[in-house]
Amino acid sequence: MHVPTANAGHDVSFGALIEKVKQAEAALEARERQAAADWRQLKASWIAGWTPGRIVIAGFLSGFVVGRAEPVRRVARGGGALQLLSALAGLFAGGSAQAAAGEAEHAAKTAQQTAAAVSPDAALEASTQHAAQPLHESSDA
């Protein structure tokens, strides 16, 4: 009675198996080198592709996406818009007050010069009153 073996008809020597493993290792190393070269090429192409125009376009697109992610109802609520308007109103009011103070100081100086031209004694009196209560301190002095 003959008992069949697992590799019946396939007598492979140990040396042949070692040779097969060496071929597989060489193929693996070649593929690793190819993958590393492909990665370097992709990285170089990626970096070269980011021109200033493309960066700006990417910024616009990301801003659009972020803006679309914000719910529309928040804009309808108006909380942010109201804060923006009140901040801008304060900014303009501060600038207007400073401009008005400058114009008032200029008007006071013009009035002093006119008074000096008409009556030197009145100009001296107005000058002492103006010096006691300045309308606006300036850094021109």
Would you state the pLDDT for residue 68? 76
Query: What is the model's pLDDT at position 64?
Result: 84
Residues 127, 108: Cα–Cα separation, whole Å: 10
User: Taking Cα atoms as reference points, which of 113, 110, 102, 112 lies closest to residue 135?
Assistant: 102
Q: By percentage, how much of the chain surpasses pLDDT 90?
A: 23
Answering whether pTM is above 0.85, one says: no
Nearest to 20 by CA among 10, 8, 33, 34: 10
pLDDT for residue 39 is more than 90: yes
Mean of the per-residue pLDDT values for the chain?
75
Average of pLDDT values for 17-40? 96
Reply yes or no on whether the pLDDT at 17 is more than 50.
yes
Q: Regarding predicted confidence, which is higher, 103 or 21?
A: 21
**Whether 103 contacts 92, CB under 8 Å:** no
Specify the residue for token string 């914000």: 70
- Residues 74-84 have a mean pLDDT of 63
Higher-confidence position of 42 and 80:
42
What is residue 141's predicted lDDT score, i.e. its pLDDT? 41
